[in-house]
């Protein structure tokens, strides 16, 4: 049997009286897109935080390609091939889209550079191509804080892809984007992910997006995985309709 790319075992974490992970167990295999759904406060972001080293569980383990990464730093985990985009894009807002990608490329190559040194970076063409792939080629020289949220989301994902990850974790890639633009943005993201051959986990509240783009779905509820399966199996399930879909409207 093939080994999972990422495996979480018995994860547990409390914040005060809130239990954000309560015996979370999941195996994520290479290829495809897994959607994580569930009500607000269910522990979806906490799971991504544990997998990327931002939160340390009080119990349990995460392994990536068979290696225990539970106690590694976010930077060490990124170097192993797990990248992340946040619920709110974490970009250098005063700098251009291309500069943000060049900084990521320099970090990937372990070359520390100042923003003024960016013009000489050898990955410039590669990063310009990546911006094209996420439909933001014409925004390369625009400052990030002048751009709409949808473009910032796409640039944030391009920054994550610049690290050439094996596994990419996206926290609500379409949140903050107008409903009319969500499919357009997800089409671009899905195409870029397929082109990069990156296994993806994405947290999503919009069930139409889940239905169209996910191969597998895991349902979080009160720090636990309530159910998992294909979108057809999960989205029609009465518990999910009651606890998740009913809550989203
Ligand atoms: N660093 C923290 N300190 C205190 N409480 C936290 C912290 N991180 C998460 N929590 C709490 O843990 C619970 C789970 O939070 P989490 O952010 O994982 O939920 P979520 O499923 O991502 O929700 P949403 O859909 O609203 O983004 C919430 O009650 C949250 O307030
Ligand atoms: Mg969240």
Residue 21 Cβ inside 6 Å of ligand 1? The answer reads no
Q: How close is the Cα of 33 to the center of ligand 1, in Å?
A: 23
Ligand 1 binding pocket includes 43 (Cβ within 6 Å): yes
With a 6 Å cutoff on the Cβ, whether 45 touches ligand 1 is yes
* pLDDT of res. 1: 63
pLDDT at residue 247 in the model? 63
Ligand 1 centroid, distance to 229 Cα (angstroms)? 24
Closest-CA residue, ligand 1 atom 1, reads 15
Atom of ligand 1 nearest to the CA of 205: 25
Three-class SS of 48-86: HHHHCCCCCCCEEEEEECCEECCCCCHHHHHHHCEEEEC
The pLDDT value recorded for residue 117 is: 72
CA 202 to ligand 1 centroid distance, Å = 16
- Cβ of 178 closer than 6 Å to ligand 1, yes or no, is no
What does the domain layout of the chain look like in residue ranges?
1-81+165-249, 93-164
C-beta of 15 in contact with ligand 1 (< 6 A): yes
Whole-model pTM?
A: 0.94
Instruction: Measure 140 CA to ligand 1 centroid, in angstroms.
Output: 34
Residue 205 CA to ligand 2 center (angstroms) comes to: 10
One digit per residue, pLDDT tens: the chain, 249 residues?
689 999 999 999 999 999 999 999 999 999 999 999 999 999 999 999 999 999 999 999 999 999 999 999 999 999 999 999 887 778 999 999 999 999 999 888 887 777 777 777 888 999 999 999 999 999 999 999 999 999 999 999 999 999 999 999 999 999 988 888 999 999 999 999 999 999 999 999 999 999 999 999 999 999 999 999 999 999 998 888 888 877 655
Atom of ligand 1 nearest to the CA of 172: 27
Q: Which CATH architecture has domain 1-81+165-249?
A: 3-Layer(aba) Sandwich (3.40)
Please tell me the predicted confidence (pLDDT) of residue 55: 97
Burial track 169-206 (b if 16+ CB lie within 10 A, e otherwise) = bbbbbbeebeeeebeebbebbbebbeebebbbbbbbbb
Q: Which ligand 1 atom is at minimum distance from the Cα of 39?
A: 25
Query: CB–CB of 26/219 below 8 Å?
Result: no
| Any atom of ligand 1 within 6 Å of the Cβ of 100 | no
């Amino acid at each position: 049997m093939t080994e999972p790319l990422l495996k979480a075992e018995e994860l547990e974490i409390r914040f005060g009286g809130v239990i954000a992970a309560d015996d979370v167990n999941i195996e994520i295999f290479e290829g495809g897109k897994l959607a994580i759904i569930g009500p607000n406060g269910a522990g979806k972001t906490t799971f991504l935080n544990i997998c990327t080293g931002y939160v340390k569980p009080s119990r349990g383990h995460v392994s990536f390609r068979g290696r225990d990464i539970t106690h590694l730093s976010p930077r060490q985990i990124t170097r192993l091939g797990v990248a992340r985009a946040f619920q709110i894009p974490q970009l250098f807002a005063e700098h251009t889209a291309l500069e943000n990608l060049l900084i990521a490329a320099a970090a990937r190559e372990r070359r520390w550079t100042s923003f003024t040194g960016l013009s000489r970076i050898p990955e410039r063409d590669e990063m310009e191509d990546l911006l094209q792939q996420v439909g933001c080629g014409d925004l390369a020289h625009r400052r990030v804080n002048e751009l709409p949220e949808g473009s910032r989301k796409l640039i944030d994902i391009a920054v994550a892809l610049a690290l050439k990850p094996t596994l990419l974790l996206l926290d609500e890639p379409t949140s903050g984007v107008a409903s009319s633009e969500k499919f357009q943005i997800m089409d671009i993201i899905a195409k870029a992910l397929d082109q990069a051959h990156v296994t993806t986990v994405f947290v999503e509240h919009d069930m139409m997006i889940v239905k169209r783009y996910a191969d597998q779905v895991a349902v979080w509820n009160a720090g636990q995985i309530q159910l998992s399966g294909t979108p057809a199996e999960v989205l029609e399930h009465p518990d999910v309709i009651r606890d998740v879909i009913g809550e989203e409207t």
